[in-house]
Chain A
Amino acid sequence: MPSNRMDTGGRIDRDRPLSFTFNGRRLQGFAGDTLASALLANGVRLTARSFKYHRPRGIVGAGVEEPSTLVELLGDDASGNRPATTVPLRDGLIAKSVNCWPSPGFDMGAINQLIGRFIPAGFYYKTFKWPGWHLYEPTIRKAAGLAAAPAAPPEQGHFESRFAHCDLLIAGAGPAGLMAALTAGRAGLRVMIADEATEAGGSLLNRRLTIGGTPALGWVKAVVDELATLPNVTHLQNTTVWAYREHNYLMVNERAPDNPGLLERNWRVRAGQVICATGAIERMLVFGNNDRPGVMLASAAQTYVNRYGVRPGQRAVVFTNNNSAYAVAADLAAAGITVAAIIDNRTDVPEEARTLVEDVDVLAGHVVTGARGARQVRGVTIAPVDGGASRQISCDLLAHSGGWNPAVHLWSQSRGNLRYDDTLTSFLPDQAAQDATSVGAANGQMILADALGSGARAGADAAGITMPDIPTSADLTYAITPLWRVEQGRGKAFLDIQNDVTVDDVHLALREGYDNVEHVKRYTTGGMGIDQGKTGNINIIGTVAMQQGAPLEELGTTTFRSPYTPVSFGAIGGLREDSVVLPYRHTPLTAWNIKNEAFMYESGARWRRPGYFPQPGESFQETVNRECRIVRNGVGVYDGSPLGTFEFKGRDVGRFLDHIYTNIMSTLKPGHGRYGLMLSDDGLIIDDGVALRLSEHRWIVSTSTGHADAMNSHFEELLQTQFPDWNVFVTTVTSQWNNATICGPLARNVMQALGTDIDISPAALPFMGFADGHVAGIPARLVRVSFTGELSFEVNVAPRHLPALWDKIMTAGAPFNIAPIGSEANHVLRVEKGFLSLGHEVDGTVDPYDLGLGWVMSKKKTDYLGKHAVAIRRSGTTNRRELVGILPQPDQMIPEGAPLTPGGERRPTEGLVTACVYSTVHDRWVGLALLENGHSRHGETVHARLKDKVIAARVTPPIHYDAVGERLRS
């Protein structure tokens, strides 16, 4: 058994030894250990190197407050920057220190210690500012290195993020939290209680107290057992309430869920009420070399002997400004550690504290002015508070306590106020901003009886019942005299051990004018980092207060932000990774497309669509060209299902459509359709599409795929907020009507081969006409619209029938060499035709006139959305960018988005290329562009200015193919 492990005691299982590796050394601990307790048990004291100066460091705390020993876990546990005090030991654990190379014992970066006085706070900001910080940052970040991120996500499970609801969420299962949970749980509230430790009990796990006359942990067990029997109580350990957001919404990270598939779980909890029972965190004392390995928080030393059965040293000095460390000294002595002396800055030590340690030398009115020893503490120098000769005491453990800070982090995140309490010398919860209360040490109830009482009271209040009886207990009174820093002595006195921020750094910040505590924080980085200054922040404020002669309550605290302790990104993201990292939508033909080796990708509104259908040996361009020729010369078919489709119903539909479309829709006769354009009221084009009038009061409105949701919002907002009395109903039917669109000069032949009871002659079913009937025996609505410029039949059917229809089209079309067409070819065909596309030609600056669509702007209507804004815009003298066609000279592709500048020179742009495609009709590249005064510049030459060259292009009308529209009307 390692030398520092006690033979008995602690909450470890000596029958379950565990092997682990630390910095390459194989070591042994027990089930129940943390990595930190196991290291101490093995006598490993030098465990880390500091962030900036690479000073030797040991273990300082015993929980989430640990500022010093951060480790990187390797193998299955791969993760970085984990405080060793929060890593439960398991067999096979592999850990290494994060900020040293090759080891904390021999660290090359330790050279920084020698030049330490040349790198004060703000050094990097001041030194590496020319020509830019970004040049230096990578190297400096590496030198200051924290752990690397794991190379790959863990494979042995997945993360989960889930919702939860409760009447009462209790953060913390110490005495106050457990008492609250028991009280509210018995009263029937839906209670959720979460605690960061591996087992319940809070401070009771670390101390030797009694409740009801028996050891306190017996009471803890009884409460936990009873909570387990209450179906209305959810009790989670190893689980941290890490964020408190608005409207009582809290984030709770469960690190070891009882589900073998899960790595971690994040609960997103909406709580009726919240009780913050988060306890208190001991703060350091600030004196020279207070960072030496072996200088440890008193409560941590107490935790190691009581909870883990580990002696963190053989000969201890205790340094304190309050009573709590006397109980620590007594526990250390009981564990067989020699307590050489208690150094107390108070001249009058309360009798109840002194009687706990009758055999120990108590030096009242003294302070430790410095720790001695280089790689670990070998002794301390002490001196009277009021001056006088210093002397030395040898020791290998210095347990210090600067008092207790209520853990007000969650409270403060909830926007609850804080007030400074002179008696406790700390900030306490004051006014609540949400439905929350603080209890126990988190609320300044430092004595066990008060903690139990406040927990019971809060639980009873939450449940609306009377206060229950609370068990008896005994505890030491908490009395403290503030000591923000020891002014005597030499050596760096650290306020923030993790970021290497010293008293001198804070003084420098103040001298340079950073006198607000938030500014001090940012200038010195004190209080940042993994631990967020849990042990040192209040000392920083105290140091500022001392220097400025201002009371702490005037300075206030820096803002407490989430997360309270680090949380895995995986837990926040939950299931969202790999294929579901973004949403995706399929049509009933997706399986067919994939089977037929379509190249699939997202193409707006999260739809996965076929881009093109390559045949063996075909390049991308060859495939697209082939698909274009098929549509222009024969017949193709594409899946148009994603098109936004809405059914409108009511007496006022025509009136409503007249308001939202630029043209007049109300005059449309049943059985006919009309193309239209929609503007926002500030004159921007928001969508285009076709309205079909089914009957007097029923209409179908189609929108572009990408804007379907936005259009739905637009319709509903207008109808509900501006025209609540109008008789218009809107129902989204995008996924009720899917379509296969047969297009090309042979489309009618394919329709005839399919067989239909609808008269598809041009006279009976002209362009923009539609009819209901059957196609290939399937109930269908046939619509004559065209997005390719060719004769097209949009065969709309219920999605459940689409695969069957598609198969029949393929069979019936085979004699005509029909082929499926992807969105790439569709894009080429629409550009040839000069059809506009939202996001390409419609970019939020152009109006319908610019696009040559002035005819769609009704002159008859005195008002419709956007009419006046367009008129006001056009009344200005600004040159408008207008839609034109372009033919690159010589023939080549111009990248979409390329700027057009006068002469291709480095001058302000006069437009941009919105599309450029290879036209199989013209056997050359053709494009569209927005060009200043473009309508009057046909025939001119313009220039696209690229990074490495200038490409000329001839300006043409925007329609490159079938300008009169014979083919689509055929």
Chain B
Amino acid sequence: MMNIPCPFCGSRNEAEFAFGGPVKPDRSDPNTVSEEEWVAYLTQVPNPLGPVQERWWHVKGCGMWLTIWRDTRTHDIVEGPADAE
């Protein structure tokens, strides 16, 4: 049970959050990219051994979507949300 830093609420049990997956590149206008690029955008998700930036939704808390850097080997949160209050 991780303890995830929420910018609004402070550290809270992982169970209050829903996992939002690794952060993908920003969505571009699909009309401006090739089919291959679009398929890659849709299907390729970062999956490193080590720190990964990922989204969590504080669904049972303040409702905020936030990002953390989590080390997939240890669950260490190596960097918290950038916009912590």
A positions within 8 Å CB-CB of B: 245-249, 268, 270, 415, 433, 681-682, 712-713, 716-717, 720-722, 862-863, 867-869, 872
- Which residues from B are CB-within-8-Å of A713? 18, 20, 57, 59
Q: Identify B30's interface contact among A415, A720, A867, CB under 8 A.
A: A867
- Which residues 26-64 of B have a CB within 8 angstroms of A? 26-27, 29-31, 35, 38-39, 42-43, 55, 57, 59, 63-64
A716, B43: Cβ atoms closer than 8 Å: no
- Which residues from A are CB-within-8-Å of B35? 872
A270, B42: Cβ atoms closer than 8 Å: no
16 additional contacts (CB under 8 A) given A268-B1, A720-B65, A863-B31 = A246-B75, A247-B75, A249-B3, A433-B74, A682-B42, A682-B43, A713-B20, A713-B57, A716-B57, A717-B20, A717-B65, A722-B27, A863-B29, A863-B30, A869-B42, A872-B39
Residue B78 is within 8 A (CB to CB) of chain A in the complex: no
Instruction: Kindly report which residue of chain B lies nearest to residue A683, judged by CB atoms.
Output: B42
- Which residues from B are CB-within-8-Å of A721? 55, 65
Report the bound CA distance from A245 to B64 in whole Å.
26
Report the bound CA distance from A247 to B13 in whole Å.
10
How many B residues have CB within 8 A of the partner chain?
26
Instruction: Kindly report which residue of chain B lies nearest to residue A710, judged by CB atoms.
Output: B18
Smallest CB-CB A-B distances: 7 pairs: A246-B75, A247-B3, A720-B65, A868-B30, A249-B1, A682-B42, A247-B2
- Which residues from B are CB-within-8-Å of A268? 1
B3, A862: Cβ atoms closer than 8 Å: no
- Which residues from B are CB-within-8-Å of A863? 29-31
A685 to chain B, nearest CB (A): 16
B positions within 8 Å CB-CB of A: 1-3, 13, 18, 20, 26-27, 29-31, 35, 38-39, 42-43, 55, 57, 59, 63-65, 74-77
Report the bound CA distance from A249 to B13 in whole Å.
10
A562 to chain B, nearest CB (A): 13
B74, A246: Cβ atoms closer than 8 Å: yes
State whether A716 and B65 are in contact (beta carbons under 8 Å apart), knowing that A863-B29, A868-B30, A872-B38 are contacts in the complex: yes
B78 to chain A, nearest CB (A): 13
Instruction: Kindly report which residue of chain B lies nearest to residue A869, judged by CB atoms.
Output: B42
Instruction: Kindly report which residue of chain A lies nearest to residue B39, judged by CB atoms.
Output: A872
A270, B3: Cβ atoms closer than 8 Å: yes
Report the bound CA distance from A868 to B29 in whole Å.
10
B55, A246: Cβ atoms closer than 8 Å: no
- Which residues from B are CB-within-8-Å of A681? 27, 42
B30 to chain A, nearest CB (A): 4
B64, A720: Cβ atoms closer than 8 Å: yes
Instruction: Kindly report which residue of chain B lies nearest to residue A433, judged by CB atoms.
Output: B74
State whether A247 and B59 are in contact (beta carbons under 8 Å apart), knowing that A863-B30, A868-B38 are contacts in the complex: no
- Which residues from A are CB-within-8-Å of B30? 863, 867-868
Report the bound CA distance from A430 to B27 in whole Å.
46
B57, A415: Cβ atoms closer than 8 Å: no
Instruction: Kindly report which residue of chain A lies nearest to residue B29, judged by CB atoms.
Output: A863
A87 to chain B, nearest CB (A): 31
- Which residues from A are CB-within-8-Å of B38? 868-869, 872
- Which residues from B are CB-within-8-Å of A717? 20, 55, 57, 65
State whether A862 and B13 are in contact (beta carbons under 8 Å apart), knowing that A415-B74, A717-B20 are contacts in the complex: no
Which of A248, A867, A872 has most chain B Cβ within 10 Å? A872
